[in-house]
Amino acid sequence: MAVALNYSDQPSRRTAWYGQLYVQVLIAIALGVTIGYFWAQTGEALKPLGDAFIKLVKMIIAPVIFLTLVTGIAGMTELKSVGRVAGKAFAYFLFFSTLALIVGLIVANTVQPGAGMNVDPATLDQGAVTGYVAKAHESGIVAFLMAIIPTTLVSALAGDQLLPVLLVAILFGIALSMVGEPAAPVRDMLERVGLVVFKLVGILMRAAPIGAFGAMAFTIGKYGIESLANLAGLVATFYLTSLIFVLLVLGTVARLTGFSILKLIRYLKAELLLVLGTSSSESALPSLMDKMERAGCAKPVVGLVVPTGYSFNLDGTNIYMTLAALFIAQACNVDLSLGDQIALLLVAMISSKGAAGVTGAGFITLAATLSIVPSVPVAGMALILGIDRFMSECRSLTNFIGNAVATIVVARWDGALDRDALHRALNGEPAPGPARPASETDPD
């Protein structure tokens, strides 16, 4: 008998406000900002807390993706539906990733946040960005594609990359489905292992406030709130652009799909605060997959769309790339023609694919783009190095919301969305019958 990964026979219960995860994370962020601002050295010393939490979460990402996708595909009646879901997902990713790049270009040309700075590229510290440029050259498109194929079947689960796990899970799930009834015990065993893994997710999420506290204390202690002053225009422009993209563009998509983007944000509030605190969307990936299933999205769709979107559907990173590139060009008085901007857009479309949802990946991807487009000086990245951490948080938040919307849209598009479950989840209504408690991953 098949066992659902998100099932629990424990009775639902209400949790006091101070026991809710999002409240604890919010308090932790406030404490982290306070420590980092008034005791900067202490804040910097707390960095291991944030790093340790992210490592804990990354430890379970591979098993979560593997178990969710394998059991989902194995339960499909027709294997061609796997290719159908993947095709729809990639069509969505391509369209909205390109749209995000175009939005960044339009805003940069309209607002021109770098105009008037009159920076001489020769005076910039090239050494400050050398490490990022080196990493960018190591992560070219060919290297990225080759890295999708793991060395062995097992090494994918032992590594820290999402796409090799995705490849192995799809192949294993297809093979399991083709074997049929003789493989039923294996499928049931994997589903039961999934119960344990998701319980482990709930346990680890209890440490989220500690991770958010350490990460935020380090950020403020290391870079200081005052470091925003001289480049506040770029930061404000980026945050406002991302907000408009989420509320207007993704909000319109959500309305056409039959749900409210604001209700979705409220539903994911604990995960969003965690992403804000850790500046990494990967920290909330297991919890996002769990919540998307509880919101009525079919397990195979969730297992395929969410981890793939973390590499191919990075709306926030794409807005950042074109906006930051034009900011550097404007600051250095480099006049980019329409042809130059189109070339920048085309290069960014390729280089942005494969940027992981980890801290700093957007900056490395920007370095990869500028190293191919000679019109914009790569040394100009030194201008935004000091504030990149603050923009990284907005990138991660936008990427996270974009992938949640993509999951629901693709599920609806493929006829794999339980509309009643979606509305219950977004409206905070309890599920009928035995249900997971308002969760170890988000105790609302």
Residue 70 above 70 pLDDT?
yes
CA quadruple 114, 119, 120, 122: dihedral positive or negative?
negative
Residue type, 375: S
Residue 272 above 70 pLDDT?
yes
> pLDDT tens, 400-427?
999 999 999 999 998 889 999 999 999 9
Q: How confident is the model at residue 356 (pLDDT cuts 50, 70, 90)?
A: very low
**pLDDT at res. 387:** 67
Average pLDDT of the chain, as a whole number? 78
- Residue range 352-376: mean pLDDT, rounded: 62
Those residues with Cβ within 8 angstroms of residue 38's Cβ, 6 or more apart along the chain or in another chain? none
Dist CA 178 CA 159 (whole Å): 27
Dist CA 423 CA 438 (whole Å): 16
- Let me know: does 114 contact 231? Beta carbons within 8 Å: no
**pLDDT at res. 297:** 93
Q: Of the ranges 58-62, 143-147, 168-172, which one carries the lowest mean pLDDT score?
A: 143-147
Q: The CATH number of 17-426 is which of 3.40.190.10, 3.40.630.30, 3.40.50.1100, 1.10.3860.10?
A: 1.10.3860.10
Closest CA to 356 of 406, 302, 312: 312
CA dist 43 to 220, 265, 277, 321, Å? Answer: 7, 29, 14, 29
Q: How confident is the model at residue 439 (pLDDT cuts 50, 70, 90)?
A: very low
pTM: 0.71
Residue 336 above 60 pLDDT?
yes
β partners of residue 436: none
Dist CA 395 CA 364 (whole Å): 13
User: For 162-280, where are the alpha helices, taking DSSP H only?
Assistant: 162-179, 184-205, 208-223, 232-244, 251-257, 261-267, 269-278
163 secondary structure, DSSP code: H
- Residue range 312-337: mean pLDDT, rounded: 85
Buried b or exposed e, range 246-282, using 16+ CB within 10 angstroms: beebbbebbeebebebebbbebbbbbbbbbbbbbbbb
CB 22: neighbour CB atoms within 10 A?
20
Region label for 112, one of left (φ > 0), alpha (ψ between -120 and 50) or beta (otherwise): left
**pLDDT at res. 400:** 92
Bigger pLDDT: 289 vs 73: 289
**pLDDT at res. 352:** 65
Distance of CA 408 to the CA centre of its chain: 15
Q: Of the ranges 18-27, 87-96, 432-441, which one carries the lowest mean pLDDT score?
A: 432-441
